[in-house]
Amino acid sequence: MPRCSKRTRGAAADLLPGTTSLEDHHHHKRSRNTSSRRHSKTEDISFSPKKCLVWFKEYTTIAEPDVLGPEGMEKFCEDLGVDPENVVMLVIAYKMGAKQMGYFTQEEWLKGLTDLQCDSVLKLQSKLDHLRTLLNDPYVFKSIYRYSYDFARDKDQRSLDTSTARALLGVLLPRWPLRLPLAEFLTHGRRYRVVNRDQWCNILEFSRTVDTHLTAYDADGAWPVMLDEFVEWLRAERGDAAMHAS
């Protein structure tokens, strides 16, 4: 019987349990390494509430550890690479059920990001396009639009001041042709310093049903007085413009 070399004996001694040859041994090691890599990949995509909470603490202060405030919000937006006035930030706030603009509580943060399964900047960045597509659903958009009223208003007031309303419309309805005329009307109309909830909700319906030339506007419809006066004002403005042009 030929003698085993020291090298062969050493390799045989290192065989893993359950393997009978060097070939089986190496195949088993490759399988084990592949399995380990798969396991690591699964861990990477899994959601960790603890990790999510540690991430939240990056934006809070010692004085207020359970509230992400304006300075933390600025850093949060910077880390995401998103402008604070970008509509996707409103969608994120909506997902969290945030009650006040510029602030996220720890409870709101965990609620929203658990729903999104995001515990890091990279994971949330990967969801931004998805969050933007939610605005294409008219029912979801209507919910976000209505949510924005309470989210943005001063909690000491029951209504939304007109400057905030104009800014919100710029975020939510940037392509609505009558947005700028309405903003001008609210700016110069001394009578309207605030927009109430009914007026705010009807602005969305108005934008969806009344065309740019106001031909679809029904004077006998159940529109708020503010929108009736806006139409009257806009027709007068357009009439004056036509007179000056001629």
In tens, the pLDDT along 101-139 reads 999 999 999 999 999 999 999 999 999 999 999 999 999
Rounded Cα distance between 98 and 109, Å, is: 8
* Helices assigned H by DSSP within 81-224: 87-96, 106-116, 121-133, 138-152, 162-172, 179-188, 197-209
**What is the rounded distance in angstroms from the CA atom of residue 68 to the CA atom of residue 155?**
18
Question: In sequence order, what are the residues at sequence separation of 6 or more whose Cβ sits closer than 8 angstroms to the Cβ of residue 90?
Answer: 144, 148, 151, 171, 172
36-47 confidence digits (pLDDT tens): 444 334 446 799
* 26 has a pLDDT exceeding 80: no
What's the total number of domains in the chain? 2
pLDDT of residue 188: 77
Q: What number of H helices and E strands is found in the chain?
A: 12, 4
Domain that holds residue 226: 156-245
Other beta carbons within 10 angstroms of residue 59's beta carbon come to: 18
> pLDDT class for 12, splitting at 50, 70, 90?
very low
86 pLDDT more than 80:
yes
Per DSSP bridges, beta strands 104-105 and 194-195 are unpaired
Q: Domain boundary at 75, 106, 136, which?
A: 136
Query: Which of 136, 169, 192 is where one domain is finished?
Result: 136
Q: What is the CATH number of the domain that holds 69?
A: 1.10.238.10
The reply to whether 62 and 131 lie within a common domain is yes
pLDDT at 234 over 80: yes
